[in-house]
Amino acid sequence: MARVFTAEAADSVDGRPARPRGSAERLRRAFGGWGGEDRWRRGWVLAAVALALGLALALHAEVPNAVGNLGSLWETFLPWGGLLVPVLLVCAVVRRSVPALVALLVPTLVWMDLFGGLVSDRGGPRGDFTVVTHNVNAENADPVGTAHQLVGSRADVIALEEVTSGRVGVYARELAEAYPYHEVQGTVGVWSRYPLKDSAHVDIGLGWKRALRTTVATPQGDVAVYAAHLPSVRVQFRSGFTAGQRDDSAELLGRSIDADPVRRVVLLGDLNGTMNDRALAPVTAQLRSTQGASGDGMGFSWPASFPMARIDQIMVRGMDPTSSWTMDATGSDHLPVAASMDL
């Protein structure tokens, strides 16, 4: 009688199970397509895309703003450019392209150089001066709860943006016990544990008040505190990234800070831009970001439901930041941002 072989029998000898294939054989079958000269000939388009991404990250300041402020838009979401690396990696593996894999080292190393230090927690202990900035949102449905949450930060100074005229009294009442000194100009305000002096509106060219400067008399000496809310930006299909008004306001704010006679300066506010945005250079060039010096992760602050960018900033001059962090969400579409420093 003829012997009938089944699929199971094919993997056995004389009825006994055959020995499993070795690891080397399994790897050879899985990655056999990487052999030969073809692995160096495939995927040059992917390699070119990877190199272009690396250049766009490394030379982000050179991406032109002439058309729709494309450069500023790219810089606003620059950290997210790193998400393209794993996408290209998968494509390179599927294509089994050695050139693409080698080229991917460029954007990977550039991204790590730019943002790798922000991934870990570098925060130290609190210093002797802690500040908070928060865009409370004009449409905040729970200003009382927001105020109580801010008091819980135990900060020495709190700056608020988008404080409408109808809500000033609410915040003043709820913050009064912990922060007996405050100054409000238009829709921005500063609340402090220490006395304030020389308070004044800062003109940032808007026709209404969205910035102020005051001097906080701390036990360690005077600190000039700026609270600012720069104009909003928009991404539109026809005009691109519309940020001209914000850029002009940043220029005026930078001039005021540059001329300030007080050695120690803190800027608190919603700048509607990130530290990477070259349009904010009039401000960022002369101040140190607390998040860049010491912080907990990327520190994205907007939108609160899924933070994608840090547009709420705390920057200093004449002081050493020791830690910075974002606080839990309030009734606003922004997260509060806090920082501590040594005077």
Domain 129-342 homologous superfamily, CATH? Endonuclease/exonuclease/phosphatase (3.60.10.10)
Q: What integer pLDDT is reported at residue 119 of this predicted model?
A: 74
Q: In the chain, how long is the greatest CA-to-CA distance? A: 109
Mean per-residue pLDDT, 190-213 = 97
Cα–Cα distance measured from residue 73 to residue 234, given in angstroms and rounded to the nearest whole number: 10
Q: Is the pLDDT of residue 41 over 80?
A: no
Q: Is the pLDDT of residue 332 over 60?
A: yes
Cα–Cα distance measured from residue 215 to residue 63, given in angstroms and rounded to the nearest whole number: 39
pTM greater than 0.95 (yes/no): no
Per residue, what are the HEC states of 102-165? HHCHHHHHHHHHHHHHHHCECCCCCCCEEEEEEECCCCCCCHHHHHHHHHCCCCCEEEEECCCC
124, two tokens: 């130290």
Q: What integer pLDDT is reported at residue 117 of this predicted model?
A: 77
Backbone angles phi, psi at 280, to 5 degrees: -95, 10
Model pLDDT for residues 256-269, shown as the tens digit of each residue = 999 999 999 999 99
Task: Enumerate the domain spans of the chain.
Answer: 22-119, 129-342
Model pLDDT for residues 128-167, shown as the tens digit of each residue = 999 999 999 999 999 999 999 999 999 999 999 999 999 9
Cα–Cα distance measured from residue 145 to residue 149, given in angstroms and rounded to the nearest whole number: 6
Cα–Cα distance measured from residue 108 to residue 98, given in angstroms and rounded to the nearest whole number: 16
Question: How many C-beta atoms surround the C-beta of residue 242 within 10 A?
Answer: 16
